[in-house]
Amino acid sequence: MKPKFLVGGAVIALALGYMIWAGVTQSAVYFVTPSELTAAPVAGKAYRLGGLVERGSLKWDPGTLDLTFAVSDGKATVPVRHKGTAPDLFGEGRGAVVEGQWTGEGYFKATLILAKHSEEYEAPHPTTDAPSRRILETLETGAR
């Protein structure tokens, strides 16, 4: 191999390394649970907030397209605001991953809502807490 090809290869490798590094630092999204977020919220940082949509918290105004709800993991609760209809499979008592930012004004501003349901179709068991735990587990996996 002639040296100029080695130099060329090194230049390409360095450029690629830089692009990857820059890409990661600019588009990293941190997965947090409501307790993790409330413990150390950083305004303006990109988060993926995962948890259960709290029952009784969901409000939808078709006139202004304002969707508000709260995401909870049983220990902490985070109020979320979103513009636009919720995706399919989204609802109270179900798992959701919300992408967006902590505003510093006491609510989480969502840019994207991903509804999550466990992959196998299981009838809901209203008497136990099992399904919600299952969904939380799926969400944790989803974050990895």
Partner 1 sequence: MIPEIGTGVLLVALTLAVYGALVAAVGGRRGRPALVQSAQHAALGVFVLLTAAFLLLIYAFLTFDFSVRYVANNTNLGTPFYYRITAVWGALEGSLVLWAWMLGLYTLLVVVRHRTTARELYPWVLTVMLGVLAFFVLVMTVPAPVFTRLAPVPADGRGLNPLLEDSGMITHPVALYLGFTGFTVPFAFAVAALVAGRVGDFWITTTRRWTIVAWYFLSLGLLIGGWWSYHVLGWGGYWAWDPVENAAFMPWLTATALLHSVMVQERRRMLRLWNLALVVLTFALTLFGTFLTRSGVIASVHAFTQGTIGVFFLAFLAVVVLVALGLIAWRWDSLGAQGELDSVISRESAFLLNNVMLVAATFTVFFGTVFPLLSEAVRGVKVSVGAPFFNQVNVPLFLSLIFLMGVGPLIAWRRASLANLKRNFLGPVLVGVVAAALFRLLGVGSVLVAVALALTLFVAACIAVDLFRATRARRAMGERTLPALGGLLLRHNRRYGGFVVHFAVLVVAVGVTGSQTWSVHTETTLKRGEQAELAGYHIRFDGLHESQESNHSKVTGTFTVVNGKAAGTVLQPAKKRYPQEQSPIAYVDYRLGFIDDIYLVLGDFAPDHTSVTVKIQVNRMVSWIWLGGVVLTLGTVLSVLPERRKAA
Residues that bind partner 1 (CB under 8 A): 2, 4-5, 8-9, 12, 16, 19-20, 22-24, 26-32, 48, 60, 62-63, 65, 83-86, 88-91, 94, 99, 117, 119-121, 124, 138, 141-144
- Cβ closer to partner 1: 104 or 124? 124
Q: Can you tell me whether residue 74 is helix, strand or coil?
A: coil
Q: Which residues, 6 or more positions from 18, have their beta carbon under 8 angstroms from its beta carbon?
A: none
Q: How far is the CB of 77 from partner 1 (least distance, A)?
A: 20
φ/ψ of 78, rounded to 5, equals: -120, 125
Q: How far is the CB of 70 from partner 1 (least distance, A)?
A: 19
- Cβ closer to partner 1: 106 or 144? 144
Please, what is the Cα angle at 27 between 21 and 33, to 5 degrees? 120
- Cβ closer to partner 1: 19 or 104? 19
Q: How far is the CB of 90 from partner 1 (least distance, A)?
A: 7
Residue showing tokens 């690629």 = 16
- Cβ closer to partner 1: 2 or 105? 2
Q: Is 38 exposed, middle or buried (0-12, 13-18, 19+ CB in 10 A)?
A: middle
